[in-house]
Amino acid sequence: MAPNIVGDIKSAVARAHGMTDEAWKRHANPWSVWTRFAAVPAFELAIWSRTWIGWWSLVGVAVVLVWLFSLNVRMFGPVEPVCWSARGIYGEQLHVTGQAPAEHKAVLNYLMATGLVGFALIAWGLAALQAWPLVLGTMMVVLAQLWRIDRYGLLFQRHQETHRSERAA
């Protein structure tokens, strides 16, 4: 995907989720970040559980989806960018608002592509009830996301340094 298309998609997703400045600050809360990571295996387990509990597995899927898309960003208070994960989410906001330089966009696009391949492996593993694509896909998604957060943190720090030097001049 071209970088501008990816940015447009991210902006549209952010708007659809009502990502105001306040919501971004809540989204940056480390509890919010790490519980989103914890939702990945919970979601996978909910889907896999269809073999044990049948249609009742949809209750678990619904709980995880409500957590991710409704409750998570509302449950935790807003934070300033003082820890690694918070700086990463603040950097993600810069990317979504089109403030990421080209060198960041290229790496971020590769990481997003890696995450999409991982997601496809997860879907295959869950559909076929095969552990190896599920585990490999989960590792790819989580590692790509961690790396993205790290890159976003670097983007945020660079942005802060640029604004500090502009104010000093």
Tell me: the pLDDT tens digits for 68-118? 999 998 899 999 999 999 999 999 999 998 888 888 888 999 999 999 999
Residue type, 14: A
Q: Is the pLDDT of residue 165 over 80?
A: no
Q: How many CA atoms lie within 13 A of 78 on its CB side?
A: 9
R_g of the chain, CA atoms, integer Å? 17
Q: For the chain, what percent of residues have pLDDT higher than 70?
A: 88
Packing angle, helices 3-16 and 84-96, rounded to 10: 110
Long-range contacts of 35-41 (CB under 8 A, 24+ apart): 35/67, 35/72, 36/68, 36/72, 37/142, 37/145, 39/64, 39/67, 39/68, 39/72, 40/138, 40/141, 40/142, 41/138
